[in-house]
Amino acid sequence: REINKFCELIDDNNSIYLDDAVAIKTGYKGRLIPPGYFMSITNRAISQFFIIIGPEFYQKFATGVIHTSSEVEFYSPMLLNKKYKVKIDLTEPVKKTGKKGTYYSIVFKTSILDENDTIYAIDNHEFFIKLAGDR
């Protein structure tokens, strides 16, 4: 039902997301999950990360965080009747200097995998973080 509601909200009436018979007739093993739905999951995971660490992180370590980009790669259609998991990896911070001083670039690599660890999609979110004390 959640996929049906999502498709209704974004006005996407593609039958491969809404009807098993159509998806199977098209060559899939069942209904597919719309790519935009995947992005709503990864964005939610990143948001939760900052909500959980937020208060202490901002009070002690950072004076600012900017979400600068998101780049998505899809590797295979995601079937609705399959279980998936979200995995988040962080890159090492890269120190940079700009007009406003020193900051660090960190990429959150958010992957969607199945139970066999097959990767279906990756959403790379880059953030610029200004640490307390850096000018």
Question: pLDDT (tens digit, 9 = 90+) per residue, 30-85?
Answer: 999 998 888 888 888 888 887 887 777 777 788 888 889 999 999 999 999 899 99
Give yes or no: residues 57 and 78 share one domain.
Answer: yes
pLDDT of residue 63: 82
Q: Residue 108: beta bridge partners? A: 90, 125
What does the alpha-carbon distance between residue 18 and residue 3 come to, in Å, rounded to a whole number?
A: 8
As a whole-number percent, the residues of the chain with pLDDT over 70 amount to 99
Here the tokens at position 126 are 């880059």
- pTM (whole model) above 0.95: no
Give yes or no: residues 55 and 105 share one domain.
Answer: yes
DSSP state at residue 92: P
Its domain, for residue 111, covers 35-131
What does the alpha-carbon distance between residue 107 and residue 92 come to, in Å, rounded to a whole number?
A: 8
Give yes or no: residues 26 and 43 share one domain.
Answer: no
Give yes or no: residues 41 and 18 share one domain.
Answer: no
Give yes or no: residues 55 and 6 share one domain.
Answer: no
Supply φ then ψ for residue 52, to 5 degrees.
-70, -45
Give yes or no: residues 39 and 104 share one domain.
Answer: yes
Quote the number of domains for the chain: 2
pLDDT of residue 108: 92
